[in-house]
């Protein structure tokens, strides 16, 4: 009978509200029959014009469903909460911890549904906590969904980030976790984020440099670091290391990245361009000579793209082209940051 109320989108009386409250309070939820009644009760409350208190009651019932052992019950609860999250955000927020726990569920369908609900729950107050949970989920997610996860996570982080430092840290963490599967847009957004403000160029570039020193297996991370080092490598600062030591270390890093088995044509092209740029930014004679060696490394390569870059860049470094190279090697405009 409860389901028949949903056919009429009309205000209900306090007496009828009392019936719903009594049914919701007195129905046992440890049996399928009781859950079926509670489900119809919640479904009806969501469809009719009822007081906010009654809707909070319905959302609390769904919160109890999330604790149920049955996968179908939890999936239904997540689906219904997603329907009402925009209209009753505060009530759903109270069950945020339980929703986050669903990300650890063995059932992939429940994990994905919980993640979709979390995206809808993000705001400026909880973005740090929920972004951390999204990154944790990224660790265990299947490779075929990581690109979408990165895009959605970047979107909410871009919208609600409380400060630039945390924003940069989060984007770099994403590249560290999924740099081989995230889209080029994530790399571009990270580069743009670091390059938009002079105050954070050194900070972001140093973070990327440190991240790649630890792990060179994530191509997206490598590409973001190479691009930023080419433009702002002279701004890198590390405790206990002099400017010259850092410059020499960056040259060694470029040589190491060139020799990696997974080094692509794009990676090598980035390194050639970055090395050329850094000849105008570095001060260490040893580092500059190392960069020039990298630039000329592919002058006889069988790959026409690398050969053309290597030869053209080597010509730019000749003394007779000094007036041209000083203009050519200026910092590039950062890519436009597109919120996905």
pLDDT, tens digit, for every residue of 273-325?
999 999 999 999 999 999 999 999 999 999 999 999 999 999 999 988 877 87
pLDDT over 70 for what percent of the chain? 86
The pLDDT assigned to 189 comes to 95
pLDDT over 90 for what percent of the chain? 62
CA-based nearest residue to 158, from 182, 189, 117: 189
The pLDDT assigned to 97 comes to 92
Phi/psi of residue 263, nearest 5 degrees:
-70, 120
pLDDT, tens digit, for every residue of 2-60?
444 443 444 544 445 566 666 666 566 556 666 777 777 777 777 766 566 777 888 88
The pLDDT assigned to 332 comes to 80
The pLDDT assigned to 27 comes to 65
Split at pLDDT 50, 70, 90, the class of 154 is: very high
pLDDT, tens digit, for every residue of 66-94?
988 888 889 989 998 998 888 888 889 99
Residues 215-235 have a mean pLDDT of 96
> How does the average pLDDT of the chain come out, rounded?
87
The pLDDT assigned to 146 comes to 92
The pLDDT assigned to 1 comes to 41
């Amino acid at each position: 009978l409860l389901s028949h109320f949903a056919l009429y989108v009309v205000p209900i009386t306090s007496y009828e509200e009392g019936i719903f409250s009594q049914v919701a309070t007195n129905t046992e939820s440890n049996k399928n029959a009781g859950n079926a009644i509670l489900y119809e009760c919640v479904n009806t409350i969501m469809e009719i014009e009822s007081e906010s208190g009654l809707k909070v009651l319905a959302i609390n019932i769904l919160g109890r469903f999330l604790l149920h052992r049955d996968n179908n019950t939890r999936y239904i609860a997540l689906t219904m909460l997603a329907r009402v999250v925009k209209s009753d955000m505060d009530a759903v927020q109270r069950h945020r911890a339980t929703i986050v726990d669903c990300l650890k569920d063995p059932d992939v369908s429940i994990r994905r549904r919980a993640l979709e609900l979390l995206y809808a729950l993000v705001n400026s107050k909880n973005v740090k906590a929920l972004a951390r949970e999204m990154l944790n989920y990224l660790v265990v997610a299947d490779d075929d969904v990581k690109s979408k996860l990165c895009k959605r996570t970047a979107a909410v982080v871009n919208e609600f980030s409380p400060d630039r430092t945390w924003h940069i840290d989060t984007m770099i963490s994403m590249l560290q976790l999924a740099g081989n599967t995230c889209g080029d847009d994530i790399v571009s957004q990270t580069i743009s984020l670091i390059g938009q403000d002079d105050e954070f160029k050194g900070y972001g570039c140093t973070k990327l440099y440190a991240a790649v020193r630890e792990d060179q297996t994530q191509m997206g991370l490598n590409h973001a670091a190479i691009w930023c080092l080419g433009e702002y490598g002279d701004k890198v600062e590390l405790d206990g290391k002099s400017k010259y030591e850092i410059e020499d270390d960056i040259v060694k890093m470029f040589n190491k990245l060139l020799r990696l088995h997974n080094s692509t044509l794009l990676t090598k092209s980035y390194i050639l361009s970055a090395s050329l740029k850094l000849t105008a930014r570095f001060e260490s004679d040893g580092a500059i000579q190392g960069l020039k060696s990298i630039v000329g490394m592919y002058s006889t390569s069988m790959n026409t793209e690398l050969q053309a870059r290597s030869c053209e860049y080597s010509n730019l470094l000749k003394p007779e082209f000094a007036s041209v190279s000083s203009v050519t090697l200026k910092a590039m405009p950062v890519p436009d940051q597109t919120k996905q």
